[in-house]
Structure 1
Amino acid sequence: MIEVSKKDRRKYEAILKEELLTALGCTEPIAIAYAAAKAKETLGTIPDSIIVECSGNLIKNARAVVVPMTEDLRGIEAAAVLGAVGGNPAKELEVLTDVTGEDLTLTKQLLAQEICEVKLLDTPAKLNIRVRCKKGADSSLVEILHEHNHIVHIERNGEVLYDIPHSLEDVSESGTDRSCLSLEKIVSYGATADLSGLYEVLDKQIAYNSAIAQEGLSRPWGESVGRTLLEVYGNSVNVRARAAAAAGSDARMNGCEMPVVINSGSGNQGITVSVPVIEYARSLQSTHEQLCRALVVSNLVAIMQKYKVGRLSAFCGVVSAGAAAACGIAFLQGADADVLGMIITNTQGNVGGIVCDGAKSSCAAKISSSIEAGLMGYEMAKRGCVFRPGEGLVKEQYEKTIDSFCRMAKDGMETTDRKILEIMIEGC
């Protein structure tokens, strides 16, 4: 087993703490609500005019999903107005936690008055939000860039109150450098890490993501993908892993007011990397420590793949997360880095073409498909079967295969991304 330096160990723990954040609701509309709440706080009063400018990927992911604490309101306008009316910016991605019935009533009134205007922001950044609030002669501006809770600029009445150096092109400005991640090091770190500094965030991931999965299985949220899987395919651990994760997304995409612990900026990815591992750990009667070590592996494998693509793209992030979940399950059963590389290769070679056409109910089905592909990839790997170098995007080394799919997702799907947004804006 490869040795992981003390420096890299510190980095791995820092990366997990930076990525495994708590969020209430889909992170794109929540980021908009956060920006609006901060803009309203800066303005000092509820605005009578809001302009929300978003990059295309934000519009794609925020336009169809239910905003939590609203019962059934969807879209960018609802997120922005509710954030400005009742959001608490101190809570960042849990900004809507304290929303009251009175806040919701006022939000609906302001939406009826059409005080919010949404514009497509001309920016090379995939994740970019600018919210402008006005009240009489007073105005405020808040900008978020590259990460859902990363405010880079604040103005009031044209005066700059806060600004940090930032580039629309550079997505690696904040946080710990992710380039230190490798499969061999992740497996070694997962097996030997001092978990004392990680138990808090991992226990929260177990508790929160299990709870929303159970909620999705208990009641008919959205199109009930998770419940359907259990009803049709039985109660094996394989089916439960897929069904529970899908059910968490069923609930989350359709307005469930329960928080999740995210991964790579996404609640659906956070659910996907954790819930299947939790289900298998229960079936295997694993100890709490064994489960936490497996979650360290699954989370880091997902981050290793996703940071090269970026927070948002035309590539569905739960594909990488499904592969990562299967890696966590394999690690739980003693697999080494070579097996994990085979799992990722087999998963990406199977479902690596799934596109992201926004956050919505069908995300639950994509989660199920990706986890199923990951588990099949693991079964293939156990039998020594892996897609061969030269077949499609598969390369001789696993790390190079991961790079191939990441390059395809980030660079190759630029046109796809624009076309998806164009078609979505056309409407039904």
Structure 2
Amino acid sequence: MNTEEIVNLLKEEVVPAIGCTEPVAIALASAYAHHSLEGKIKRIKLSLSSNVYKNAKAVGIPGTHHTGIETALALGICIQEPAFDLTILSPLTDEDIEMAMNLQREVPIEVEILYDSPSVYIEVGITTDREDSKAIIAERHTNLVFLERSSQVIIDRKSNTKRNMKNSKSLAKYPLKELIGKILEAPYSSLEFLLEGISLNMTMAEAGLKMEKGMNLGKSWEKIVEKGFWGKDLNSKITLYTSAACDARMAGVRLPVMSSSGSGNNGIISIIPISIVAEHLKSGKEKVVQALAISHMVNTYIKEYIGRLSPICGCGVSAGAGAGAGIVHLLEGGMEDIERAIINVISGLAGMICDGGKVGCALKLSASAGMAWQGALLAKEGVKVPEGNGIVASSLQKTLENLGKISQEGMFNVDKSVISAMYN
């Protein structure tokens, strides 16, 4: 890949999002299915991958006091002027919300969980008294691959999606050090857009520190500090701000965050630790945008192995490793230091499962942010989990292959067990 292609990839993967991206994607799919549909709605069917289901079930929906898959679906139908991107829920009105609540009461909604599907897959079918429609989003949260109305196919990109899945390791064909090298060659102006993520995600963190909903982490940490059980050092600030941002976002605070590789929480991890370390070190803007680009690239790169949504917590493993890599760059480390940091984070957090999006993710992000900082510091001192320790292999590439094997094969039935537990 050349520098221009890498910058374009980052522009695709690093975008603002309001609300958890799984319920947002459900709302987006239902908006596509309902757009211009005529007649009174009689029936709705939603089929979605297990990964989307578990991440959408318990998370707060921005601008409402509600959670849930059916609510997200109904909002997508009822929102008056939807923006067909990850900010679709930003213009919600009280009227939209009331209409969505009534729709859920009046219309049967069937939800089907698919275990053998792409990790991102949402299919919405709507039947009215005059016509019917179907919309499918797959592979990425905004990727509309199929749209049909009254048996007339309007969009059909499903074959492209299957072909892309077969070539899903396209980014991983390149050595990570080569991609990072290209990032360091990119002009500052081409990466400057990444700085917006600091503004957005730190604003969400500040909201989390002040609010009294969700897990109320901000106020709780204040009391813990007053008791002398928690310090005001850099590590404490990194974990506090990261967890507070997640708490606010998962509770449904109506603010955008900059996402990374389809996940707002991944974006929080990829950005906030780097922002705080950069402020402490008084790093220049060029250094900061390079660190952010490295962080997002590593996150996206590792997801090529574990899956865009996976049984392993991507916030902990892929985004945490990305943050660690970016911090190493701020500390003037080289590629060997970056690889050590990535391996340190992976070795420490590979066993963290994803049990869906919810305010409790804040504690997972806290652990990931702390591990990113510690893993980076140790890497800069030449410390790395040795080869042969668990899944750590002779190289970063082979270690990632081991991680991918665990995620894709070893943890194949984890989602079924998690969803069973969530039902119970």
- The two structures have a TM-score, normalised by structure 2, of 0.93
3-state SS of 2:19 partner: coil
Moved more, 7-16 or 241-250: 7-16
Task: Work out whether 1:210 is the aligned partner of 2:202.
Answer: yes
**1:40 Cα deviation from its structure 2 partner:** 1.1
Match of 2:242 among 242, 245, 250: 245
Correspondence for 1:100: 93
Which of 274, 277, 297 is the matching residue for 1:277?
Answer: 274
- Asked if the contact 2:274–2:292 (Cα under 8 Å) also holds between the matched residues in 1, the reply is yes
Q: What SS does structure 2 have at the residue aligned with 1:306? A: helix
Q: Deviations over 1:197-226 (max 9, x none)?
A: 2322x1321221111111111213311335
1:312 is displaced (CA, Å) by 1.1
Confirm or deny: 8 A CA contact 1:145 1:152 kept in the other structure. yes
SS at match of 1:119: strand
Residue pairs, 1:41-60, within 5 angstroms: 41-44=35-38, 47-60=41-54
Question: Does 2:127 correspond to 1:134?
Answer: yes
1:82 has 2:79 as partner: no
Deviation at 1:338, TM superposition (A): 0.7
Q: Which position in structure 2 is the counterpart of 1:350?
A: 348
Structure 1 residue 137 displacement after superposition: 2.7
1:278 positional shift: 0.4
Aligned counterpart in structure 2 of residue 293 of structure 1, from 283, 290, 298: 290
1:16 aligned residue: 10
Matches within 5 A, 1:185-196: 185-196=178-189
- Offset of 1:313 from its aligned partner? 1.1
Write out per-residue CA displacement over residues 108-129 of structure 1, whole angstroms, 9 at most, x where no aligned residue: 2222325422222364222111
Find the aligned partners of 2:15 and 2:248 in 1 and give their Cα distance.
19
The superposition leaves residues 54-104 of structure 1 with CA deviations (integer Å, 9 ceiling, x where unpaired) of: 11111111111111122x111110000011000644431111112111111
Q: CA deviation at 1:329?
A: 1.1
| CA-to-aligned-CA distance 1:292-350 (integer Å, 9 cap, x gap) | 11101111111111122221111000122112112111101101111111111111111
How many Å separate the matches in 2 of 1:317 and 1:412? 16
| Corresponding residue SS for 1:131 | strand
Maintained 8 Å contact 2:292/2:326: yes
1:62 to 56, 61, 65: 56
One-letter identity of the residue aligned with 2:61 = V
Contact 2:208–2:217 (CA under 8 A) maintained in structure 1:
no
Are 1:402 and 2:400 matched, yes or no? yes
Question: Would you say 1:158 and 2:151 are equivalent positions?
Answer: yes
> Does the 8 A contact of 2:311 with 2:353 survive in 1?
yes
Match of 2:255 among 253, 258, 267: 258
TM-score scaled to structure 1, two decimals? 0.92
Q: Distance in 1 between matches of 2:29 and 2:58?
A: 19
Give the whole-Å Cα distance in 2 for the aligned partners of 1:83 and 1:412.
36
**Counterpart among 361, 364, 367 of residue 366 in structure 1:** 364
Deviation at 1:384, TM superposition (A): 2.3
Residue by residue over 1:353-398, the C-alpha shift from the partner in whole angstroms, topping out at 9 and shown as x without a partner, is: 0000000011110011112122222232233221111111011112
Distance 2:197 2:168 in 1: 20
Aligned to 2:190: 197
1:27 corresponding residue in structure 2: 21
CA distance in 2 between counterparts of 1:288 and 1:209 reads 17
1:36 to 25, 30, 37: 30
Q: Give yes or no for contact 1:343–1:374 (8 Å, CA) kept in 2.
A: yes
Paired residues of 2:138 and 2:144 also in contact (CA < 8 A): yes
1:143 to 109, 132, 136: 136
Once residues 110 and 328 of structure 2 are traced to their aligned partners in structure 1, the CA distance between those partners, rounded to angstroms, is 48
Q: Distance in 2 between matches of 1:33 and 1:174?
A: 28
Structure 2 Cα separation of the partners of residues 308 and 161 of structure 1: 33
Q: CA deviation at 1:171?
A: 5.1
Q: Partner of 1:383 in structure 2?
A: 381
Q: Which range moved further: 166-175 or 256-265?
A: 166-175
Measure, in 1, the Cα distance between the counterparts of 2:172 and 2:328: 23
1:225 equivalent among 217, 236, 245: 217
Is 1:304 aligned to residue 301 of structure 2?
yes
Check whether the contact 1:190–1:294 (CA below 8 A) recurs between aligned residues. no
**Matched-pair contact (CA < 8 Å) for 2:347–2:391:** yes
Q: RMSD across aligned C-alpha pairs, in angstroms? A: 2.1
SS in structure 1 opposite 2:24? helix
SS across alignment from 2:124: strand
Give the distance between the partners of 2:337 and 2:422, measured in 1 at CA: 39
AA in 1 matched with 2:352: I
Count of matched residue pairs: 418
2:363 is aligned with what amino acid?
Answer: A
Q: Is the 8 A contact 1:226 1:242 kept in 2?
A: no
Q: CA deviation at 1:21?
A: 1.6
**Structure 1 residues 418 and 13: CA distance shift in structure 2, 3 A:** same
Contact 1:31 / 1:93 at 8 angstroms: preserved in 2?
yes
SS at match of 2:126: strand
Whole-Å Cα distance in 2 between the matches of residues 115 and 271 of structure 1? 36
Q: Name the residue aligned to 1:116.
A: 109
Q: Separation in 2 of the partners of 1:103 and 1:89?
A: 11
Equivalent in the alignment of 1:3: none
